[in-house]
């Protein structure tokens, strides 16, 4: 009952608050805090570290689902006990997963008995504002998409095959919209901060979250058909179960270790693989079993058989969404499929003929002995574009159709101006260099969709601005498609530049001058590049590239210069310090050749007190071999408080001098320099790649418009879904009606 709902919510909220307190108070005696936090971590990243691992992210997911429960009370009327029972079951399941990976266990480090005052820290690539926003947004979407699943099962349970759909529509639109925002955030994070050179890499973890977005879009359109005239009841039950099944499957892929060696995101912690498989299978058996049990009882309503009808367009649209989702899910699941004994060899022989494969070594791992493999991005790039083009065609024409039939003459009249605009814009794209047939088709259909949906927005405003949400989302999708064509198909090849300090090189109409390797806060370093655009003023680019000793990895963050039509993308690779052949770094016991000399560093010699008072003399005892003669010398360095370090070189037998230029007491390194050799010095160099990303702004603009359209649709459907005792408050008239005077849809 409701007491159980509030108790579950209290438990999840208490767990989240306790985790927050442990991270804020830096309790490194707790293993989860020790693994993901450190004393130098900013407060916002201490909070974000809560969902850096499996247990914390599961708590957030469960908490979102439990927060939904009070909003469902009294608003679902006779459905309430059924929906809440199922929703509580899902959230308790997530909390069980969390407890299996118990985040409150104490830290145990072999050989350490005293207080633990420092943690391992958060991966430096996660030190980004998107780490604070993106994961909780993703899990909010997952939590929301659980509600339509529970409503569908409740509808089957109660044999109410229409009431659930009316209630589920706003929740589906909300979950779909927020999941789309989460995908966009992840893409923008990768593009802006991680230096991958793009926003979508067809990584298995990216794909696993895209699949429920696709099936959720199919469900959303199916619910619209059912709401309009009662069609597609069975299909909507199927899609509601399938969508949440894919949500669980996405979580399984990232938390089971199945994608180990195949993804840069994959969690590889043990302990959840088999319990998640069991839970996922149980959910699907319960869901689809219930549907099969009620299949004959669910009434069918015939759809329109007219080709030019919304019924037909929506069915084709839904089938295409599901087909794309299944193709992506299949390709993403290949490591799991090929781990089944006897399948890997035959599947490898089939897929290697047309696609690139990864045997597990792509990210530096060892190939798997059982022959498992993954499909590389070219599989998705070859299989999904034709299907997505069908979506674009349906999005361009479907909004103009009536539910049952369409007046062909009025349809052609409505298409005049959108078609003319599409021809004009496609011609401009061809002039700008778009030549590939598929790319031209995408630009043509997407611009046609842009025109028809703008037309529908104008005509729908007379009925109220809340009614334009779907069309606005279509406009965003059209812009997104054009942006994807420009930024991927016509992005320039990455050009590598290696520029010595103080020198200039040019590429893509820009001149790059490398001025130095500057240190920033917390040991971070940036390449200081002066960039001169031939048509604009100069600007300074400062991409990060530095070695993080705690994580044992290089951190690279690109620099991006945004123009109206394109981005200049500067991705750093490495900094090569100046190479002075007369200088060498040695540890005790090491030797090296410097010009004609062989230097063997024996030990440090330290005199703690000088005659003048405080200070010290640090010397390096070196054995020098030169032309069959051996000489032992000790160049020194004077250290005095508030004074510059003073070198005290020694003279060698041939008149040259050996100096101790610097030393590192932590690593026991001495930097030795032989003066007077006049050997050529190789200057410091910056190594980075440069590329041009055309139309990238359309990608971000399109996704934002899709989110805005989804938000408007959520508000509208929420008002329409209010129980009968609360009269619907969807505005029937808006400012658009006062300005415009024509009808919306052709019937």
Helical segments of 271-343, H only: 273-294, 310-332, 334-337
Tokens at residue 550, please?
């705690």
Phi and psi at residue 638, in whole multiples of 5°? -90, 125
CB 226 within 8 A of CB 301: no
- The Cα-based distances of 576 to 41, 555, 717 in angstroms read 28, 15, 58
HEC-encoded secondary structure of 517-583: EEECHHHCEEEEEEEEECCCCEEEECCEEEEECCCCEEEEECEEEECCCEEEEEEEEEEECCECCCE
Closest of 119, 97, 116 to residue 45, by C-alpha = 119
Instruction: State the pLDDT at residue 24.
Output: 94
pTM: 0.86
Tokens at residue 220, please?
């959303």
Instruction: State the pLDDT at residue 101.
Output: 85
296: which residues sit within 8 A by CB, 6+ positions away?
none
Instruction: State the pLDDT at residue 727.
Output: 34
Instruction: State the pLDDT at residue 461.
Output: 87
Q: How far apart are CA 256 and CA 303, in angstroms?
A: 42
CB 4 within 8 A of CB 81: no
Report residue 49 CA to chain centroid gap.
16
H or E stretch covering 241: helix 233-255
Q: 């985790």: which residue's tokens?
A: 19
| Spans of the chain, pLDDT less than 50 | 723-747
Supply the DSSP string of 166-210, one letter for each residue.
HHHHHHHHHHHHHHHHHHHHHHHHIIIII--SSS----HHHHHHH
Q: How far apart are CA 607 and CA 634, in angstroms?
A: 12
Q: How far apart are CA 517 and CA 683, in angstroms?
A: 12
Closest of 382, 376, 156, 159 to residue 288, by C-alpha = 156
Instruction: State the pLDDT at residue 747.
Output: 29
Instruction: State the pLDDT at residue 746.
Output: 33
Q: How far apart are CA 148 and CA 164, in angstroms?
A: 8
Report residue 559 CA to chain centroid gap.
18
Q: How far apart are CA 537 and CA 54, in angstroms?
A: 48
Q: How far apart are CA 373 and CA 359, in angstroms?
A: 4
Instruction: State the pLDDT at residue 728.
Output: 34
């Amino acid at each position: 009952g409701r007491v159980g709902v509030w108790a579950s919510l209290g438990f999840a909220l208490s767990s989240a608050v306790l985790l927050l307190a442990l991270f804020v108070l830096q309790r490194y005696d707790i293993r989860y805090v020790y693994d993901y936090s450190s004393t130098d971590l900013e407060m916002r990243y201490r909070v974000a570290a809560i969902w850096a691992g499996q247990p914390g992210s599961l708590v957030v997911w469960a908490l979102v689902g439990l927060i939904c429960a009070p909003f469902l009370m009294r608003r679902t009327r006779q459905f309430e006990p059924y929906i809440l029972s199922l929703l509580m079951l899902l959230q308790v399941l997530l909390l069980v997963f969390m407890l299996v990976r118990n985040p409150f266990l104490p830290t145990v480090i072999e050989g350490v008995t005293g207080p633990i005052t420092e943690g391992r820290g958060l991966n430096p690539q996660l030190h980004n504002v998107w780490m604070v926003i993106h994961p909780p947004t993703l899990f909010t979407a997952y939590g929301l998409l659980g509600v339509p699943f529970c409503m569908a099962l409740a509808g089957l349970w109660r044999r109410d095959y229409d009431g659930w759909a009316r209630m589920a529509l706003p929740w589906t639109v909300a979950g779909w919209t927020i999941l789309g925002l989460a995908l966009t955030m992840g893409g923008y994070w990768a593009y802006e901060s991680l230096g991958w050179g793009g926003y979508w890499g067809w990584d298995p973890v990216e794909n696993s979250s895209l699949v429920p977005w696709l099936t959720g879009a199919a469900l959303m359109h199916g619910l619209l058909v059912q709401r309009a005239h009662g069609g597609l009841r069975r299909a909507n039950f199927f899609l509601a179960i399938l969508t949440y099944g894919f949500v669980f499957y996405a979580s399984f892929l990232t938390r089971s270790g199945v994608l180990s060696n195949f993804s840069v995101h994959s969690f590889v912690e043990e302990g959840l693989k088999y319990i998640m498989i069991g839970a996922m299978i149980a959910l699907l058996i319960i869901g689809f079993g219930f549907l099969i049990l009620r299949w004959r009882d669910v009434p069918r309503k015939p759809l329109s058989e007219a080709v030019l009808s919304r019924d037909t367009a929506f069915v084709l649209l839904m089938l295409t969404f599901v087909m794309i989702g299944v193709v992506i899910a299949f390709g993403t699941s290949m490591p799991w499929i090929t781990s089944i004994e006897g399948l890997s060899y035959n599947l490898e022989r089939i897929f290697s003929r047309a696609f690139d494969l990864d045997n597990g070594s792509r990210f530096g791992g060892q190939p798997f002995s059982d022959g498992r493999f993954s499909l590389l991005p070219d599989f998705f790039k070859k299989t999904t574009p034709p299907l997505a083009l069908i979506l674009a065609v349906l999005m361009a024409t479907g909004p103009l159709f009536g539910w049952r039939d369409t007046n062909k003459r009025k349809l052609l009249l409505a298409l005049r101006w959108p078609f003319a605009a599409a021809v004009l814009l496609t011609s401009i794209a061809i002039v700008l260099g778009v030549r590939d047939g598929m790319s031209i088709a995408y630009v043509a259909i997407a611009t046609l969709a842009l025109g028809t949906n703008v037309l529908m927005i104008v005509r729908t405003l007379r009925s109220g601005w809340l009614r334009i949400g779907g069309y606005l989302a279509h406009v965003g999708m059209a812009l997104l498609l054009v942006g994807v064509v420009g930024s991927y198909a016509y992005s320039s090849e990455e050009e590598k530049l290696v520029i010595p300090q103080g020198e200039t090189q040019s590429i893509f109409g820009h001149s790059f001058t490398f001025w130095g390797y500057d240190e920033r806060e917390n040991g971070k370093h940036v390449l200081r590049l002066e960039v001169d655009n031939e048509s604009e003023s100069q600007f300074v680019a400062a991409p990060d590239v530095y070695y993080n000793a705690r994580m044992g990895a290089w951190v690279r963050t690109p620099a991006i210069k945004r123009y109206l039509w394109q981005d200049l993308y500067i991705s750093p690779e490495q900094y090569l310090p100046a190479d002075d052949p007369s200088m060498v770094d040695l540890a005790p016991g090491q030797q090296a050749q410097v010009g004609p000399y062989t230097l063997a560093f024996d030990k440090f010699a330290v005199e703690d007190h000088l005659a003048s008072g405080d200070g010290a003399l640090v010397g390096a005892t070196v054995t020098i071999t030169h032309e069959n003669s051996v000489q032992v010398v000790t160049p020194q360095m004077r250290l005095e408080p508030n004074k510059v370090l003073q070198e005290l070189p020694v003279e060698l037998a041939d008149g040259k001098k050996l100096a101790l230029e610097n030393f590192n007491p932590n690593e026991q390194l001495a930097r030795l320099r032989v003066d007077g050799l006049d050997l050529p010095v190789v200057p410091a160099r910056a190594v980075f790649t440069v590329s041009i990303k055309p139309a990238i702004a359309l990608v971000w603009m399109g996704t934002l418009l899709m989110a805005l359209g989804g938000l408007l649709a959520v508000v509208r459907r929420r008002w329409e879904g209010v129980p009968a005792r609360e009269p619907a408050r969807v505005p029937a008239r808006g400012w658009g009606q006062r300005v415009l005077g024509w009808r919306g849809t052709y019937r």
